[in-house]
C-alpha cells in the first residue's frame, strides 16, 4: 500500500474513504470473479476499476505504469501461458501448429478468460491498495472491526521493517563500495547478511523499548491520536459499488 500525496486544490474522492469501505466494496466482486468463465464480465470489472482509479486516485508514474503496461502485459502473459496448458481434446480451430501439437482458438479463449479474470481481481484490489496506507488500515481494523490493537500494531511494526531493511541494505552496499569490497555476486550477498541482521536486531530492540515505555499492551484498549471513522459516504460508496457489480454480473 502506498501513501498518496494530494495535488493542490484537488482531493480525489477515493483517498478520504475508510480503507475498510474500499475492501468491502470490491471483495464480493473479487469472489464472484473466481467462478466466472466468460470474457465480458472480467473485462467489465477491469473497466470499472480503471474508471475509479483514473477519477478517484491521484495520477502518478506508478499508476500510469500499472494501468498502461503491467495489467495488459499480465493479461497477455497469463492468457498465452494458460492457453498452452489447455487440453487439446477440447477442440477448436488450430491457430498455430508445431508438429502434432496445435494451439486452438478454444484454448486461446480459455487462457484469455483466465488472464482477464486474474487481471480483474488484481485491478479491483488496486482500488484500495493504491489509495490507502497501512497505518490507516490498521487503525480502521482496530476501530471498526475491533481487532486487538496488540495484533494490529505489532503487524504494522513488522511491515515497517521492510523499507527499513531496504535502506539498511543500500547503506551496507555503499559502505562496501567505499572500502573497495567487490567480487563474486553471491559473496557480496553473504557479506551483507550479518550486518543486515545486526541492524534489524538493533532496530527491533529500539522499537520494543519504545513500545514498553509507552505501556503498549498494558490495557485492553488505547486512545488514538488520528481517528479513521466510518462516515456516511463510506456506506454510500460500498452500496453503490455493490449495485454496479450486481448489474454487471446480471447484465453481461
What pLDDT, on the 0 to 100 scale, is given for residue 51? 95
**Calpha distance 206→213 (Å, rounded):** 10
Range among 73-87, 117-131, 193-207 with highest mean pLDDT value? 117-131
Domain boundaries defined on the chain: 19-132+229-251, 148-213
> Percent of the chain scored above 70 by pLDDT?
91
Cell of 136: 490507516
**Calpha distance 139→116 (Å, rounded):** 33
**Calpha distance 71→161 (Å, rounded):** 28
What pLDDT, on the 0 to 100 scale, is given for residue 214? 78
Residue 9 has pLDDT above 60, yes or no: no
Tens of pLDDT along 19-60? 999 999 999 999 999 999 889 999 999 999 999 999 999 888
State the DSSP H helix or E strand holding residue 102, giving kind and residue range, or none if neither.
Answer: strand 101-104
Task: Give the distance, in angstroms, between the CA of residue 170 and the centroid of all CA atoms in the same chain.
Answer: 24
What pLDDT, on the 0 to 100 scale, is given for residue 42? 95
Q: Minimal CA–CA distance to 58: which of 134, 132, 128, 5? A: 5
Tens of pLDDT along 129-179? 999 988 889 889 988 888 888 888 888 888 788 888 888 888 888 887 787
pLDDT, the chain, mean: 85
What pLDDT, on the 0 to 100 scale, is given for residue 98? 72
Give me the count of residues in the chain.
Answer: 252
Amino acid at each position: 500500500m502506498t501513501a498518496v500525496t494530494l495535488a493542490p486544490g484537488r482531493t480525489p474522492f477515493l483517498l478520504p474513504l475508510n480503507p475498510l469501505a474500499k475492501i468491502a466494496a470490491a471483495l464480493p466482486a473479487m469472489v464472484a470473479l473466481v467462478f466466472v468463465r466468460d470474457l465480458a464480465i472480467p473485462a467489465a470489472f477491469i473497466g470499472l476499476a480503471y474508471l475509479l482509479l483514473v477519477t478517484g486516485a491521484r495520477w502518478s508514474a506508478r499508476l500510469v505504469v500499472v494501468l498502461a503496461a503491467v495489467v495488459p502485459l499480465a493479461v497477455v502473459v497469463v492468457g498465452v501461458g494458460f492457453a498452452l496448458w489447455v487440453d487439446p481434446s477440447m477442440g477448436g480451430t488450430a491457430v498455430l501448429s508445431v508438429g502434432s501439437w496445435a494451439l486452438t482458438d478454444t484454448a486461446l479463449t480459455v487462457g484469455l478468460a483466465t488472464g482477464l479474470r486474474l487481471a480483474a481481481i488484481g485491478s479491483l484490489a488496486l482500488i484500495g491498495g493504491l489509495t490507502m496506507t497501512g497505518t490507516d488500515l490498521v487503525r480502521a481494523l482496530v476501530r471498526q472491526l475491533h481487532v486487538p490493537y496488540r495484533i494490529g500494531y505489532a503487524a504494522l511494526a513488522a511491515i515497517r521493517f521492510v523499507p527499513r531493511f531496504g535502506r539498511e541494505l543500500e547503506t551496507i552496499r555503499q559502505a562496501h563500495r567505499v572500502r573497495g569490497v567487490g567480487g563474486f555476486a553471491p559473496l557480496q550477498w553473504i557479506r551483507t547478511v550479518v550486518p543486515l541482521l545486526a541492524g534489524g536486531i538493533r532496530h527491533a530492540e529500539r522499537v520494543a523499548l519504545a513500545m514498553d515505555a509507552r505501556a503498549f499492551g498494558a490495557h485492553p484498549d488505547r486512545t488514538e491520536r488520528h481517528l479513521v471513522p466510518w462516515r456516511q459516504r463510506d456506506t454510500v460508496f460500498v452500496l453503490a459499488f455493490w449495485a454496479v457489480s450486481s448489474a454487471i454480473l446480471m447484465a453481461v
